[in-house]
Amino acid sequence: MPVLMTEIPLHTEAVIESISLPANQQRRLANHGIRLGTIVSVPRRTAGGSFIIAIGPNRVAVDRATLGGIAAQPVVAQAPSSGHVA
């Protein structure tokens, strides 16, 4: 079952299943590589109430509301962190 990204433990890899945000935000996220099917993780929270999203080697900071608009399916623990990231 996909869960909101805000509820997924830090450092857990997850596949994005749905994004419930306005179209322009979805497009902005997609520009940064955050879209359906992407494997992401949240390595840490930051000062200022934001979160870092890791997409492969890239890092994007988003606020809590944006992160809460993303639902993802956690990847099974033994899965390697390599692989294709769009």
Partner 1 sequence: MALLHRPATHSASKEEISTRCELRTIALVGPPNAGKSTLFNSLTNARRTVGNWPGTTVEVGRGVGTFRPGDGSRMTVLDLPGAYGLDPQSPDEAFTAQLLTDTDRVRPDVVVVIVDATRIAQGLYFVSQVRDLGVPAVVALTMIDVAKRRGVVIDVDKLTADIEIPVIALDPRRVRGVSALGEAIVTELETAAVDVRGSAFDASVEATDRRFLWVESILHDAVTYDHAPLTWTDRVDAVATSRVFGPLAFLVVMWSVFQATTRLAAPLQDGLSNFFTGPVASVVTSALERVGLGDSWLLGLVNDGVIAGVGMLVSFLPLMAIMFFLLAVLEDSGYLARAAVVTNRMMRAMGLPGKAFLPLIVGFGCNVPAIAATRVLGDARHRLLTALLIPFTSCSARLTVYVLIAATFFPKSAGNVVFAMYVLSIVIIVVVGYALRATLWRTMGTEPLIIELPPYQRPLARIITNITWVRVRGFLSTAGGIILATVVALWFLQSTPMPGKSEFANVDVSDSVFAAASKTVTPVFAPLGFDDWRTTGALVVGFVAKEAVISSWAQTYAIEEPMNPANPGELSAAIRSDIERSSNGNVIPAVWAFLVFLLAYTPCVATLAAQRREIGARWTAFGVAMQLGVAWILAMLVFQIGSRL
**What sign does the CA torsion over 23, 28, 31, 37 have?**
negative
Indicate whether 47 belongs to the interface with partner 1 (CB under 8 A). yes
Half-sphere exposure of 4 (CA within 13 A, CB side): 10
Among 71, 8, 3, 1, residue whose Cα is nearest residue 34: 71
* Interface with partner 1 in residues 3-22 (CB under 8 A): 21
Residue type, 41: S
Rule CB under 8 A: choose which of 1, 9, 48, 76 binds partner 1: 48
Instruction: Tell me the closest approach of the beta carbon of residue 1 to partner 1, in angstroms.
Output: 25
Query: Residue 27 has which token pair?
Result: 């497009």
Rule CB under 8 A: choose which of 2, 12, 28, 75 binds partner 1: 28
- Binding stretches for partner 1 (CB under 8 A): 21, 24-25, 27-33, 35, 43-50, 52, 56-63, 65-66, 80-86
